[in-house]
Amino acid sequence: MIPLDEPRLRYTVRLQPVLGSTFQPTNFPDIGAAKFSRAQGGDCLLVESVQSMANRLEATAWDRAARRPAPLVEALPYVRVHRRDNPDEHLTSSREEAHRLASAFVRDSTLDGLQMLEVIRERLGLVKDTPLNYPRMARAVLGLDPFCLLHGVFFSHKQWLGQPKFTRAISAVVEAHDVREVVSGGRKADHVRHQLVEGEGGTSEGYGSIPFHRVEWTAGDIKAMFVVDVDLLRSYGLGPDATELLVRLAQWEIRTLLSRGLRLRTACDLEVIEEAKGLPERAELEGRIGELITAEGIGAEPVTVLWKG
């Protein structure tokens, strides 16, 4: 296992389309594809944003079909939200919510009759006229949901004094360099209604045959780039085992995401053609993560809270 003596761990992976030569990049409202020029020259595209890649990395640790954590990390704590009027029904969790432990569904729930707003405040040690104690808060977050320290959490509610924030420790992006447009089109065919008649439903209601155009892209090079901020995780003062556990989890998320292939959209299915240098193999990471969970002693059943809805 590679030692963790660097401030950052950087990995770059070269990709190519699985089918043909074209791909569909991410698009933004009123902007379209995010095209840009690098200082080195040449037209480039943002294929997948940092925000979207964070979501995809985080999703590797959650089994969406079973609505539970992936087997490797099932022993790690998290907050599971059930409905108050149906305590056996899974609603959501700190692993699924965009704001994780700071989600409104977690915040507005109760644990053994206590408001989670107050439970979290107490566990973080948030006291009026007192500086934020990040090591203490990090240890509390570790005991509630360690993935919040990897992917970030912002306790922004005004009753959470100081509004502590843990920034994202793992980031990724997919870029395409030396890009060119591929313009094509098609036709949505209506094999029932061959002619539109006023008052009988038109294209806005889904009737009729509609031609359309589309723009895809081809690229000289497509790269997925990952960074794990080891120094940030060390700064929480959790100790060597807990810090290594978080770093290995980040590496495992990267390795798992790449091993599944990157089907980012219907017309954007990418495969690895050049592996990341220095990234441990998945089996090696899984063995070490299991050892660290046991050594750190943070394995726990999920905390089940009841949402007011």
Instruction: State pLDDT tens for residues 230-242.
Output: 999 999 999 999 9
Residue 11 has pLDDT above 90, yes or no: yes
Torsion of the alpha carbons at 290, 295, 297 and 301, rounded to the nearest 10: 10
Residue 1 has pLDDT above 70, yes or no: no
Q: How confident is the model at residue 307 (pLDDT cuts 50, 70, 90)?
A: very high
Q: How confident is the model at residue 194 (pLDDT cuts 50, 70, 90)?
A: confident
Q: What digits encode the pLDDT tens for the residues 115-173?
A: 999 999 999 999 999 999 999 999 999 999 999 999 999 999 999 999 999 999 999 99
Q: How confident is the model at residue 4 (pLDDT cuts 50, 70, 90)?
A: confident
- Max distance between CA atoms of the chain, in angstroms, equals 73
Q: Residue 62's pLDDT is what?
A: 97
The whole-number average pLDDT for the span 180-206 is 79
Q: Residue 284's pLDDT is what?
A: 96
Q: Which tokens is 309 given?
A: 């809805």
The whole-number average pLDDT for the span 48-73 is 95
Q: CA-CA distance, 112 to 100, in Å (whole number)?
A: 20
What letter would DSSP give residue 57? H
Q: CA-CA distance, 269 to 263, in Å (whole number)?
A: 4
> What is the reported pTM?
0.92
From residue 141, give the alpha-carbon distance in Å to each of 68, 79, 145, 155, 230: 19, 11, 6, 11, 17
Q: CA-CA distance, 47 to 176, in Å (whole number)?
A: 6
Would you call 101 helix, strand, or coil by DSSP?
helix
* Strand runs labelled E in 125-278: 153-154, 165-166, 170-188, 210-229, 262-265, 268-274
Evaluate whether 290 touches 73 at the Cβ level (below 8 Å): no
Q: Which residues of 176-191 are buried (b: 16+ CB within 10 A; e: fewer)?
A: bbebeeeeeeeeeeee
Q: Which residues of 116-148 are buried (b: 16+ CB within 10 A; e: fewer)?
A: bbebbbebbebeeeeeebeeebbbbbbebbbbb
Residue 272 has pLDDT above 70, yes or no: yes
Residue 204 has pLDDT above 90, yes or no: no
Q: Residue 212's pLDDT is what?
A: 75
